[in-house]
Amino acid sequence: MAISRAARRPARILIAVTVAAVSLTLSPGIGSAEPDPAPPTAASEPQTTAEAQQQFADLSHELEVVTEQYNDAVILRDQREQEVAATQAQLRAVQADVAELDVEVRQIARGAYTGDAIASFTALMTSGSPQEFLDRVNTLEAISGHNNSRARELVQAQLQAGDLAAQAAHAQAAAEATAADIEAKKARIETDLPVAEALLASLAEQDRQAALALAASHGQAGDPAARGSERASRGNERQDSEDVPPAPVSAPTQAAQIAVDTAYAQLGDPYVWAADGPDSFDCSGLTMYSYAAAGISLPHSSRMQSSMGVNVSRSQLQPGDLVFYYSPVSHVAIYVGNGQVIHAPNTGSVVQKSDVDMWGAYSHAQRVALP
């Protein structure tokens, strides 16, 4: 049974990304193996409806890819900032040790000006017996060895402090580079998004639905225009999803059931880039939000989610499994049974239920709610 709209606001759960999900490096780059998609080539105003639909579809897919890369970068920036803070804290502790050892070694140096021979002679002259003399000399040698050990500790601490200072500087530079990358991606999205929205607004309703379908079909074999017209002829998918109660879904685990029910409760909410609820979503924001309701933390990134849990074959899909699209991965949906998924498709669309093979860009599936 779907969760009511009034009751579908689970407590926000902090993103927890394990080392297995994301390997944090100190490289100044973003850490993603995939570059941004090339910006669209400058073109004249579309002359026909078909051209406007195609331009919207191309731009919509590019925006989706950049949005997911933006989500990756935000997570990486946060991790790198944590790395900077941890390294700087360790550096401060080592610097305190250096200061303490430095004072001790200086005191030792000032007390050693008489030299070992004078110290031994003094021990001889003040000893009451040969055995007492030997005991005192042994004590002096032990003290000397301790002093040498403290001096070595000081040198080692100084070297460690130097290494940590270099690591902290490198981590800071990496964090700053990632922050700059985030701003660049944000600027790209904020520049291209109004263009896509304007293209969509310029179309009549039927042509607009066809353009949205064409965007959702990006990468699928066949005639894109025909696919768009066929999708539009089926009517408003969002309205169908809201008017017809979903068939009962039986997920294999309680967590998967909660995630599926939560996803159902979001049907009709608008797609907004980088949004993770409670009233608007991008694709990975929706799956993150749905599983947060079940107490499972996912990163706000389709690429990072695509390596979590265990891999599931196409024939073994169960409700709650995450389904990923494109290569490299740039979209994620949640499987709800009967060959259907719920997802937040792209700019101008809403959270909706669709066929699992809707795009012809099926990549793989992962099960994150394990028994």
- What confidence tens digit (pLDDT) does each residue in 49-98 have? 888 778 777 787 788 888 888 888 888 888 888 888 888 888 888 888 88
Cβ partners under 8 Å of residue 120, min gap 6: 137, 140
* Spatial separation of the C-alpha atoms in residues 329 and 119, rounded to whole Å: 75
Q: Does the pLDDT of residue 309 top 80, yes or no?
A: yes
Q: Tokens 């998004």 map to which residue?
A: 193
Partner residues linked to 332 by β-bridges: 324
Per-residue model confidence (pLDDT) at position 40: 47
Percent of all residues in the chain with a pLDDT value above 90, rounded to a whole number: 27
Q: In terms of pLDDT, which residue wins out, 77 or 146?
A: 77
Calpha distance 98→64 (Å, rounded) = 51
- Is the pTM of the predicted complex or chain greater than 0.75? no
Active-site positions?
A: 283, 331, 343
Take residue 331 and report the two structure tokens written for it: 């979209």
What percentage of the chain carries pLDDT values higher than 70? 67
pLDDT of residue 112: 54
What domains does the chain contain, in order, with CATH numbers?
A: 48-202 (1.10.287), 247-371 (3.90.1720.10)
In 217-366, which ranges are continuous DSSP H helix? 224-233, 237-243, 254-265, 283-292, 302-305
CA triple 142-147-151, angle to 5 deg: 145
Rounded Cα distance, 38 and 315, in Å? 35
Q: Which residue has the higher pLDDT, 69 or 264?
A: 264
d(C-alpha 275, C-alpha 262), whole Å: 16
Q: How far lies 235's CA from each of 27, 119, 342, in Å?
A: 49, 100, 17
Q: What is the pLDDT of residues 328-368, one digit of tens each?
A: 898 999 999 999 999 998 888 899 999 998 877 899 999 99
Residue labelled with tokens 């669209």: 40
CB atoms under 10 Å from CB of 290, counted, come to 29
The answer to which of 137-151, 187-201, 332-346 has the lowest mean pLDDT is 137-151
Nearest partner of 186 among 282, 270, 74, judged by Cα? 74
Question: CA 281, CA 350: separation in Å to the nearest integer?
Answer: 9
Give me the pLDDT at residue 217, please. Answer: 64
CA distance 137 to 121: 10
